[in-house]
Amino acid sequence: MRQKAMFALLICVFLSANTLLAGGGQKQTEYNKALGRRVFTEIYGQGKISLVDELYSDDFVDDSPGGGKGRDLIKDAVKAFHAAMPDLRIEIEDVFATEDKVVLRYTAHGTQTGAYGDIPATGKKASVRGITIFLVANGKIKSEWTEYDRLGLMRQLGVIP
């Protein structure tokens, strides 16, 4: 009888430990989803560049085409997006996360009333789909990989046929 009680106690301890571990992972994935949504809603969508220092790590790396190192890259990109398309609106379509990554699929909409790089204002509306993957470490974004339909954007703005 004593062995059965001890065995039952060990099983309960084992199951409780697994539940706690799984719950911790679930909390992290939910945190990562919320972090990704916040970046796209508040920073990219609303242009709140003051949040970049809070949500991105000191050693941030943008591994996207034309990327580099440092949070100023994100600040400069957000300023440029909003200068080119002051009415920029982002719709988040999907969010997936693991314990250290979050993936967002989205569509950005706006009217190009300001210069976009070397492209002068066209006054044209554009919608562009993209995917971003964030690597999250210590609660902040450490790395970012973004791909969006650059060719489609250039076509919509009338820059290329």
Q: Let me know: does 145 contact 63? Beta carbons within 8 Å.
A: yes
3-class secondary structure, 114: coil
Q: pTM for the whole thing?
A: 0.81
pLDDT, tens only, 77-92 = 999 999 999 999 999 9
Q: 2-156 — its CATH code?
A: 3.10.450.50
| Residues found in the chain | 161
Reported as a single tens digit per residue, the pLDDT across 1-43 is: 555 544 444 444 444 444 444 455 789 999 999 999 999 999 9
Nearest-5° Cα angle at 152, 149 to 153: 85
